[in-house]
Structure 1
């Protein structure tokens, strides 16, 4: 997979009155280089429509497009990959369906991270670093110590996620993260592109 720094996930409840594609395009223009469609409430028909629109957008900008959970939707729109949580389809089963497409796995403990790496995940999510209101069923925060542990023990790419904002991302980077994901901080911003640029500047400043 292409490397990335800033991972943006859809969160339409954070931008009422603004269109999904419009907001995600602004994120891409600000430097987000991987986009994930995550939608737990829409019908399959609606989800497919959104996936098609985002697939078209991400192709236009040549950024990676990931679909959360819905392997069938990802395959139908030819997404670049899928992202699975710990309670979703097994990685081995997903690999049989998606072939060489990207598979990302959410992890909340080093055992899960090591297993995902061993089973062939292309990248892992590490979090939630801080308390987050973007997922009603989110697990307890894993803290920065988990970031440090993953940075020292895992060789595949990892992205820090969960409650990350411009005000706290510096400490996440110091802990060892070179890739971060934000949802509400990006899509809920009055200046989506500017917020993304600010994240990129912080990530680049850490090199």
Structure 2
């Protein structure tokens, strides 16, 4: 996927796994797609997260829903599962496998990397990252080991330094604060609970798209 297509795909970036959902993950994803998400990341982490065969089967179901609606399907961290399912890409953090090794394993698939400093950003580009995930922008409860909230400072700093790579902001983003993330220079917003815990995931996504 070229950079311009990727920028468009990152606009309303939905991240979810079964621990985040109040109703079935399949129903949440279908509603979110109907509302207009542009990319989906399967992130099966947290209390009660599925493992092994159960995780694989859920991932496969969600991938089939995405494929039916032409939504890119990315897997968080689990490179082996991504390869097994022939997912569209993976997203990794700084504590995961080295970026170069992941790039080697997945070939030309989409590679997203979480970055927290300009040095990490430079290293991620050298390693073959296609886009950055930057955050937590705002306070988040989804990730127990989340770093300190940094607002949009790093996004603005990287754009100021001339980084052209697609960027998605993540962490505590809601319909109330999403516009500030876009104004800072991000191409998209990555959201979990703003969609999964909404009374209507479909309406929540529509509102984000309008922003």
Q: Which residue of 1 aligns with 2:192?
A: 183
Deviations 1:66-117 (A, max 9, x none): 0001111111111000110100011111112111111110111221112111
The answer to whether the 8 A contact 2:41-2:76 is kept is yes
Confirm whether residue 21 of structure 1 aligns to residue 29 of structure 2. Answer: no
Aligned counterpart for 1:6 among listed residues 6, 12, 25? 12
- State the 1:174 CA deviation: 1.7
How many aligned residue pairs are there? Answer: 201
Q: Which residue of 2 aligns with 1:93?
A: 101
Q: Normalised by the size of structure 1, how large is the TM-score?
A: 0.93
Q: Normalised by the size of structure 2, how large is the TM-score?
A: 0.91
Q: Moved runs in structure 1, 4+ residues, more than 4 A?
A: none
Aligned counterpart for 1:163 among listed residues 163, 172, 178? 172
Unaligned runs of 5+ in 2: none
> Within 1, Cα distance between the matches of 2:185 and 2:18?
30
Confirm whether residue 73 of structure 1 aligns to residue 81 of structure 2. Answer: yes
Q: Which residue of 1 aligns with 2:116?
A: 108
Structure 1 vs Structure 2 CA RMSD: 1.2
Instruction: Indicate the larger mover: 82-91 or 165-174.
Output: 165-174
Q: Which residue of 1 aligns with 2:206?
A: 197
> Within 2, Cα distance between the matches of 1:104 and 1:66?
9
- State the 1:150 CA deviation: 2.3
> Within 1, Cα distance between the matches of 2:21 and 2:77?
22
The answer to whether the 8 A contact 1:109-1:142 is kept is no
> Within 2, Cα distance between the matches of 1:151 and 1:30?
30
Aligned counterpart for 2:43 among listed residues 21, 33, 38? 38
SS of 2:175's partner is: coil
- State the 1:11 CA deviation: 4.2
Deviations 1:160-204 (A, max 9, x none): 0000111111221221222111110011111111111111111xx
> Within 1, Cα distance between the matches of 2:31 and 2:97?
32
> Within 1, Cα distance between the matches of 2:67 and 2:143?
28
Instruction: Indicate the larger mover: 58-67 or 2-11.
Output: 2-11
The answer to whether the 8 A contact 1:159-1:177 is kept is yes
